[in-house]
Structure 1
Amino acid sequence: MGGLREVAAPFVVPGPSGVAVRTRFKHLSAEDEKVLRLVGDLLGTLASRDLKARCAAGTDHDAERWAERKRTLTKQSSSRWAGAITKATHDQWALARRGQLAHIHSLQAGIETITHRLSRPIGEKGSKRAPGGYRSRQEWFAKSRRLHVLEDRLDAARADREAGIVRVVRGGKRLLNTRHHLQEAQLTEAGWRARWEAGRRFLQADGESGKRYGNETIRVTPDGEVSLKLPAPLAHLANAPHGRYALTARVSFAHRGEQWADRVAANRAVAYRIHEDTVRGRWYLTASWTNRPVALVPLEAARAHGLVGVDTNADHLAAWRLDHHGNPTGEPLRFGYDLSGTAGHRDAQVRHALIRLLHWAKRRGLSIAVEDLDFTAEKTREKHGGRKRFRKLISGMPVSRLRARLVSMAAELGVTIVAVDPAYTSRWGAQHWQKPLTSKTRKTTRHGAAAVAIGRRALGHPIRRRTAPPPAHRSDEQGHRTVQARPGTPGREGNRPRIPGPRTRSVRAGRGANAVDQNAQHRTGRSAEHESWQQDSLPLSL
C-alpha cells in the first residue's frame, strides 16, 4: 500500500525515574509563616537576578561564569542556597530552550500546511493524506496574510535561538497576564498580588546523600520536625543552633511514608520544596527523590499470557482482552471519565479510570498495550482549518497526563505497559474488526475495534484478521496461502486431525482420511505425475 508510513515496533515502557509526595503543614504559627515568607521572598529575589544573568549569557555560558554566579549568591545567602538557586536557574533556562524549539517546529508545520493549501485550486476537496484548497477567495486571502505573519514569527524565533535568547517569567506568564484582566478572573488586586508573590518565592533545595537526613538546607527528621538554614541577612531570626529555624508544626507523609522514612534514616538524598496555596490559605511540603533503574520485563514475557489493548478517547478508555494468539476474548470494557470542571477534578477522574483499569489487569496477570500518542502537531488550526470542534476534542484528550499517571501507577502495581505506534489503529481496527465482533447481543464501537488493533500490534500480529490470496490462487494452482501458519510452524503441512462423522456432504464418514493430503490423490499436477512411471503391457487382443 503506497503512501503509508513505516510502523515502529512495540516496546516496553520503562517505569518512572523519580517519586514525589506532598503533605500539608498543620498548625503553623504566625511567626512560622512570617519567617517562611521572608526567606522565600529574599531567595526569590536572588533567583530572579540569577536567572536574568543566565539569560544574558546565552549560549556563551561556561563553568567559569557558573562559578562566578554561585560566588555572588553565596555572599548574599549561603553556599547551599546558592547551589540550589543556580541549579534551578539552569533547569528553567533549558526548559525555555526546549519550548522555544517546539514553538519553531509548530510554526514550520503551520507554514507548510498553509503553503500547500494556497497552491491548490479554491474549493478543491482534500484527502485523508493531504488537505485540499480553501473554501472561498476570502479565506484564501486571509490565509495568505496569516502566512506572512507566521513567516515573520518564525524568522524572529530562529534569530532568538541562534543568539541564545529566551524569555522566561518567574511566577508564570499566565498569572502575569491575569493582572490586566482581574475582572474576568474574578480577582482583586490584593488577591492577585498574593498569588504573584507566592509564585515567585524560592523555597526548594536538592538533597545530598551522606548528609544528615539527606538534606542540610531543608531538613526533615524522622519524627517530622522541619527546619531550614537561614540566609545570612536573616540569620537573626534563628531559633535553633547553627543559624537554623525550626518550625513548630510537624509533618508526616501518608503516601509512601515508609519509603521516605527509610531514605531519611539511611541519610539518602531527598529534595524538598515548600510553597503556599494562597486560595486555600495553606502551606505544603513536597519531598522527591530518584529511584534506581528497574530491570524491564522482556517483551516476549509481557506477551506470554496475552494482554489488554486500550484505546484512549476524550471521555473514556476502551479496552479489550486478547489472548497470545491475538484473538479478542470476553466482552469489551469501558472506563469513563469526565474532563469538565477544575483541574483537580479532571486529574481525579483520570486517576479513578486508570486505577480501575490497572486493578482489572492486575487480577488477571495481564500487561496493558497503549498507543504512544503525541498530538503536538495534530491540533493546530492550520491543519484542521475551521473544524474547531474536532480541534477542541483533540486538545481535550489528557494524553500527557494520562501517560504519566499510567506509567507511575502501573509501576506500583507491577503491571507492564507496552507502547505501540498509533498509526492507522483506529482506521484498520474499524475496517477489520468492528463488523466481525458485532452480534445481535453486542454492538462493537469503533473504539473497541481500535483497542483490538492496538493489542494485536503489541502482540506482534498484523491487525488484519487473515490475508486471503487472490481468487485465482485459492486452488491448487499456487497453493492456498494465508498468514495463519507461518513458515516453519510444526505440522503446518500435515493432515487435519480426524474427526468422526461426515465433514461435508460430499465426503462420507470414514472416507475423508486423506482429504487434505494432495499427494494421496490422483489430480492434475500432483502425485500421479511424480511417482515412477511404468507402462502396462499391451492387451494381446490388439
Structure 2
Amino acid sequence: MRVLAVPFVVPGPSGVAVRDRLKHLTPEDERVLRAVGGYQGVLASADLKIRCGQGLEHGADTWAARKRGLTKVSSSRIAGAITKASHDQWALGRRGQAAHVRSLEAGIRTLRHRLSLPLGAKGTKREAGGYRSKGEWFRKSRRLADLETRHTAAVTDWRAGRVRVVRGGKRLLNTRHHLAAAGLTVEQWRGRWEAERWFLGADGESGKRFGNETIRVTPTGQVSIKLPAPLAHLANTKHGRYTLASTVMFAHRGVEWADRVQANRAVAYRIHLDTVRGRWYLTAYWQRPLVRTVPWEAARTGGVIGVDTNADHFAAYRLDTHGNPVGEPHRFAYDLSGTTTHRDAQIRHALTRLLHWAKQCGVPAIGIEDLDFSSEKTREKHGRRKRFRQLISGIPTGKLKARLVSMAAEQGLVIVAVDPAYTSMWGGQHWQKPLTTPRRKMSRHDAAGIAIGRRALGHPIRRRTTPPPHDRRDRVGHRTAQAAPGAREREGTRPPATDHAPAGVPPSGTRKRQPSAPKTVRDAPRTHQWVQHPLMHPG
C-alpha cells in the first residue's frame, strides 16, 4: 500500500477575466480592427519563430534585442506585449512536451512488462497480464519500438530546448485537410485561420491613464486603440488613436473593473473575432492581490462536503466536524457530449448547484480528489478496455480544478484536495451497506464522497468498530479500533479489536491461560472411560 499524501488547501485564483461584446461596429471599425490584427499578427509570428529558434539560449539580452526590433515597426508597449506572448507560448509548448515524454514513458513501461510475461499470463488489479496470442505479442513489440523511437526524439528535443508551436492551433491546421468532415469551405476555414493568428491585445500598466495606454477603455465604456506607426494614417482621433463607435459595459464585475480604471490601475485587454457568430468581443484581465490561504485546521472546523468526480455527475455528501454523514446524498449531473461550449456550460451549471447547496448547508470547505489521469489514459495501461479508457478521459479533471477553485472563491468557500487512493474501494466497503435503507439508495460513488470528506477532515475512512461485549473476561478493553488522526499507517489493515485472533489463538501461537474446567459432569465431553486401579482389584 502506497503512502497517502497529506490533504492541503488549494490556493485561490490570482486573476480575473471578464468579457463583453463590441456591438454596433461600423464597417470602418471592422476594417481597422482587421488591419491592426493582421499586421501585429505577422509581427507576433516572426517573433515566436525567433524565440523558438533560440531555445535554451534565451536571456535578457536576446529579449531586449527582440523588443527593440519590434519597437521600430510598432510601439514600445505593443513590442512588450508581443514578446511576452511569445515567451508564454514557448513555455506552454515546453510543458506540453514534458507531459508528452511522461506519457511515452508510461506506455513503454507497461509494454515492456507485458511483453516479458508468458502468453496468457493472468494479471492483477494493479498490473496487466501477458498478451493472449503470438500475433498480439508481435504487434505490441512493434508498437514498443515505435514508442521508443518517439521517446528518443522527444527527449532530444527537450534537452535541446526545441519546441514545435503552431500559431492558430494544430487542430485547426489539420482541419484544412478534412474540410468536408468539418462542414467548412476553404473560405470559411481561411477566415477562421487568419482570425486565430491575429494579435489584438495589450498588457496594462499601473499609473497610465485608465490602466492601459495601448487599448484604452474609459469608465463610460469608450474603446480606443493606439495604432502602430505604419497604420497611423487610419487614426480618427489625435495622437494616432482610433476610437471605436461601440461601447462596452461589463455586467459581471463591472464595479470592480470601474474602480480599477478610475484609479489608473493595470488592466489588460484582448479583442478577438468569433468567426462562427460573426461577433467581436473585448476581454479585460487584471490580477488580484495575494490572499493568505486559510489553514487546513481552520477549514475543517465547520465540517466539509466530500465530492466524488465521475464521468457524468458529482456525488456529494455532507459530513460534520467528526466525520459523520449528515442528511442524504446529493448528485449533480452533467452531460459532456457535444461541443466544447456545451461541455463547459454543463460543468459550470453543475458546479453552481454544488456551491449553492454548500452555502445553504453552512459548510466552509469542499473536499475533492486531486485527480491526475496522465498515466492512466494510455491504451497500453488498460489494453482492450476501450470504454473504460474513454470513461477516464471523459472526466473533466483539469477544467474542473480551475473552475471549482475560481467559483468557490467567489462564494467564500475553501477547496481541500486529498489523495484519491482507495476512496471508491474503501467507501463502498465501509459506508455503502450501513447507510443503505429502504428509502435511501446508496451508490458506490456516494460512499466515495463520504470517504473523500473524511480524508479531508483528517479522519480515517473506516468506520468505528463495535466494542467487545461486557461478558468477556478482559471486560470492555479498548472501546474502538479508531486510530488517532496523527497515528502512522492509520489507513492500513488493523488487527482485531481484542488481543485474540478469531480462532482463539493469539499471534504468538500460545494461549495466555488454560481453558477452565467444566462446571458439571454432564456438560463435560466424555473423552475417556473409567478404569479401576490394579491395586484395588479384589482378586
Range of TM-score over shorter length? 0.7 to 0.9
How far does the alpha carbon of each residue in 1:314-342 deviate from its partner, in whole angstroms, 9 at most, with x for none?
Answer: 11111111111111111111111111222
Q: CA deviation at 1:478?
A: 10
Distance 1:372 1:79 in 2: 42
Q: CA deviation at 1:352?
A: 1.1
Q: CA deviation at 1:299?
A: 1.7
Range 32-41 or range 291-300, more displaced: 291-300
Q: Who is 1:440 aligned against?
A: 438
Distance 1:360 1:155 in 2: 50
Q: Is the 8 A contact 2:191 2:275 kept in 1?
A: yes
Are residue 51 (structure 1) and residue 45 (structure 2) matched?
Answer: no
Q: Who is 1:539 aligned against?
A: none
| CA distance 1:435–1:475, change in 2 (3 Å) | farther
Question: Among 105, 109, 122, which residue is 1:108 paired with?
Answer: 105
Question: Among 219, 226, 229, which residue is 1:229 paired with?
Answer: 226
| SS of the residue 2:434 aligns to | coil
How far does the alpha carbon of each residue in 1:469-516 deviate from its partner, in whole angstroms, 9 at most, with x for none?
Answer: 999xx852993363448599xxxxxxxxxxxxxxxxxxxxxxxxxxxx
Q: Who is 1:428 aligned against?
A: 426
Distance 2:245 2:485 in 1: 73
Q: Who is 1:341 aligned against?
A: 338
How far does the alpha carbon of each residue in 1:379-403 deviate from its partner, in whole angstroms, 9 at most, with x for none?
Answer: 1101011111011111111111122
Q: Who is 1:498 aligned against?
A: none
Question: Among 364, 375, 378, which residue is 2:376 paired with?
Answer: 378
How far does the alpha carbon of each residue in 1:211-268 deviate from its partner, in whole angstroms, 9 at most, with x for none?
Answer: 1100001110100111111111101111111111111111110111111001001101
Q: Who is 2:289 aligned against?
A: 292
Matches within 5 A, 1:195-210: 195-210=192-207
Q: Who is 1:510 aligned against?
A: none
Q: Who is 2:180 aligned against?
A: 183
Q: CA deviation at 1:465?
A: 0.5
Q: CA deviation at 1:14?
A: 1.3
Matched AA of 1:374 = D
Q: CA deviation at 1:106?
A: 0.6
Q: Who is 2:516 aligned against?
A: none
Are residue 38 (structure 1) and residue 30 (structure 2) matched?
Answer: no
Question: Among 2, 7, 10, which residue is 2:7 paired with?
Answer: 10
Distance 1:220 1:470 in 2: 73
| SS of the residue 2:44 aligns to | helix
Q: Who is 2:507 aligned against?
A: none
| SS of the residue 1:305 aligns to | coil
Range 217-226 or range 61-70, more displaced: 61-70
| CA distance 1:5–1:243, change in 2 (3 Å) | same
Q: Who is 1:275 aligned against?
A: 272
Are residue 259 (structure 1) and residue 256 (structure 2) matched?
Answer: yes
Question: Among 451, 456, 459, which residue is 1:458 paired with?
Answer: 456
Matches within 5 A, 1:294-313: 294-313=291-310
Q: CA deviation at 1:468?
A: 7.0
Q: CA deviation at 1:302?
A: 1.8
Distance 2:84 2:77 in 1: 11
Range 282-291 or range 367-376, more displaced: 367-376
Distance 2:68 2:327 in 1: 66
Distance 1:487 1:92 in 2: 44
Matched AA of 2:339 = T
Distance 2:199 2:473 in 1: 77
Matched AA of 1:412 = E
Q: Who is 1:125 aligned against?
A: 122
Q: Who is 1:411 aligned against?
A: 409
Distance 1:317 1:185 in 2: 32
Unaligned 5+ runs, structure 2 = 487-512, 514-539
Q: CA deviation at 1:370?
A: 0.7
Distance 1:15 1:98 in 2: 22
Q: Is the 8 A contact 2:212 2:266 kept in 1?
A: yes
Matched AA of 1:125 = K
| SS of the residue 2:180 aligns to | coil
Matched AA of 2:13 = P
How far does the alpha carbon of each residue in 1:410-441 deviate from its partner, in whole angstroms, 9 at most, with x for none?
Answer: 11111111111111100111111111111222
Matched AA of 1:309 = G
Distance 1:133 1:390 in 2: 19
Q: Who is 1:168 aligned against?
A: 165
The size of the alignment, in residue pairs, is 485
Distance 2:176 2:203 in 1: 32
Matched AA of 2:247 = R
Q: CA RMSD in A?
A: 1.9
Q: Percent identity?
A: 72
Q: CA deviation at 1:450?
A: 0.2
Q: Who is 1:527 aligned against?
A: none
Distance 1:319 1:54 in 2: 47
Distance 1:48 1:470 in 2: 74
Distance 1:183 1:416 in 2: 47
Distance 1:20 1:132 in 2: 49
Q: Is the 8 A contact 2:468 2:477 kept in 1?
A: no
Matched AA of 1:80 = R
| SS of the residue 2:177 aligns to | helix
How far does the alpha carbon of each residue in 1:289-333 deviate from its partner, in whole angstroms, 9 at most, with x for none?
Answer: 110111222222221121111111111111111111111111111
| SS of the residue 1:338 aligns to | coil
Q: Who is 1:493 aligned against?
A: none
| SS of the residue 1:184 aligns to | helix
How far does the alpha carbon of each residue in 1:84-115 deviate from its partner, in whole angstroms, 9 at most, with x for none?
Answer: 00000001011111111111111011000000
Q: Report the TM-score when normalising by structure 1.
A: 0.87
Q: CA deviation at 1:63?
A: 1.2
Are residue 193 (structure 1) and residue 183 (structure 2) matched?
Answer: no
How far does the alpha carbon of each residue in 1:122-158 deviate from its partner, in whole angstroms, 9 at most, with x for none?
Answer: 1112111211111221111100000000000011111
Question: Among 302, 325, 328, which residue is 1:328 paired with?
Answer: 325
Q: Who is 1:536 aligned against?
A: none
Question: Among 12, 26, 29, which residue is 2:26 paired with?
Answer: 29
| SS of the residue 1:357 aligns to | helix
Q: Who is 2:535 aligned against?
A: none
Matched AA of 1:201 = W
Distance 1:389 1:361 in 2: 33
Distance 1:270 1:254 in 2: 17
| CA distance 1:251–1:475, change in 2 (3 Å) | farther
Question: Among 87, 90, 104, which residue is 1:90 paired with?
Answer: 87
Unaligned 5+ runs, structure 1 = 489-523, 525-542
Are residue 159 (structure 1) and residue 156 (structure 2) matched?
Answer: yes
